[in-house]
Amino acid sequence: MITMHTARTSEIDEISEAVDEIKSQIDFSALKKNSGGLILCHADFIDSGVVAALCEELPFNVIGMTSMASADDHGYGLYDLTLTVLTSDDVGFEVGMTDNIDRDNFTGEADRLYKRIRGKVANDPALIITFIPYVREISGYEILAAMDKSCNGLPIWGSITNNLDFTCETVQTICNGKALHAGIAMMFLNGPVNPRFIITSPPKRNIANNRAVITGSEGPIVREINNMPVLEYMTNMELVVARENILTTPVMAYHDNEEEAVALGFYTLFDDGSVLAGNELPVGTPIAIGSIDAYGIFESSEAGLNRILEQENRQATLLLPCVMRYIMLAPDQEGELRLITKKLAGEGRPFMMGYSGGEICPVPDTDGKLRNRFHNFTFCACVL
């Protein structure tokens, strides 16, 4: 069985005060035989030395990432650091991180990392938690595909890095105090773990009733929908899509043999009118165009939170909803943070939440087999 503890601080500059504040919120004598830590923080905590000092003080391995905002049962904030401790007598926690990845080496780096951690444990992990970097020349789904191939489809849950810096120049992943702009961090959970994955997409009322088909694409670059240029199809759908709003257009992709559609985003509108999607969309893939608004965000949050509260024997709750949800809630951008904190902190059980630059969460196919998928716009959670 896994139990969970959380702590947070907003102290960035005074390193010893920040470390002491975190340590004062967790009874380390209550930790079990094995423990592992997860850190979500603003990039300033790395630059100031707080993350390195904290990891040096902690008696267990830690991975983490920068996130635009974080929350736990103690509160929430944009400029905070949240530490989550998972501890167990019968579940082990092993971690590792690659060197910085690029287009040429990411497949090999992901494979070497998996094999390096796998060599430390007797059996395949029941779950891999990962934080992967935002790298302009590599799509998140490509990194996930490389990891999925290395681990032969074992369940992977996690996120792409993000931060308040919208250029993503300051995003970083963390492993035992070391921080890299383009490193992949992994944590293996080995033992009797029963992860339950909860993912809710924009509500059906925000999704067009009529489905279309991808008729021209190359990997994640979509050129034609229903034999029309992408922008022409969007115009026929009475949608005005431009560079300024391309990020706010969710696309529901209906992959073969999967029960639920996967929500994806369009990242870039190119000069030739083609668009870059958050995942590969092969020719023949059925899709539906959606929209995102505050009502839909809160509706999907409520649905996800209700599913979390229904889970029996829930010991740990980890949440990584899409950062676009925070952005699209302007001017009340903290609305989802308040909702999550009210719902989960009010029942007296620990939870961890951070915003994700791209959600990694398995989904079941029609045979019930979990398939690792990359998502956008979703409310995403893992219950242990």
Q: What is the pLDDT of residues 88-112, one digit of tens each?
A: 999 999 999 999 999 999 999 999 9
What distance in Å separates the CA atoms of residue 245 and residue 195, rounded to the nearest whole number?
Answer: 36
pLDDT at 266: 84
Could you tell me how far CA 323 lies from the centroid of its own chain? Answer: 9
- Judged against a pLDDT cut of 60, whether residue 305 lies above it is answered with yes
Prediction pTM value: 0.92
Sign of CA dihedral 372, 196, 42, 61: negative
- Mean pLDDT of the chain, nearest integer: 92
What whole-number distance in Å separates Cα of residue 105 and Cα of residue 103?
6
pLDDT of amino acid 259? 56
Average pLDDT on 323-328 reads 90
Secondary structure of residue 349 in the 3-state scheme: coil
pLDDT at 257: 55
pLDDT band with cut points at 50, 70 and 90 for residue 250? confident
* CATH topology (fold) of 204-291: Thrombin, subunit H (2.40.10)
Residue 205 token pair: 């009322």
Distance CA 102, CA 196 (A): 32
Tell me, what's the pLDDT at 167? 64
Which helix (H) or strand (E) segment holds residue 129: the answer is strand 127-132
Q: Which residues contact 353 (CB under 8 A, 6 or more apart)?
A: 70, 71, 72, 76, 318, 319, 320, 321, 337, 340
Mean of the pLDDT values across residues 27-54?
A: 96
| Identity of residue 238 | E
For the chain, the structural domain boundaries read 2-199+297-383, 204-291
Secondary structure letter of residue 322 according to DSSP = B
Is the pLDDT at 136 greater than 90, yes or no? no
**pLDDT for residue 114:** 98
Q: Tokens standing for 42?
A: 């603003």
233 has a pLDDT exceeding 60: yes
Higher-pLDDT residue of 20 and 244 is 20
Which one of 174-178, 211-215, 322-326 scores highest in mean pLDDT? 174-178
Of residues 61 and 293, more confidently modeled: 61
Task: Please provide the size of the chain in residues.
Answer: 384
Q: Which of 223-227, 247-251, 272-276, 361-365 has the highest mean pLDDT?
A: 223-227
pLDDT digits (tens, 9 = 90+) for 164-203: 876 678 899 999 999 999 999 999 999 999 999 999 988 8
Note whether 40 and 78 are within 8 A (CB): no
Mean pLDDT of 147-167: 91
Residue 33 has a pLDDT of 97
Q: Are 309 and 343 in contact (CB under 8 A)?
A: yes
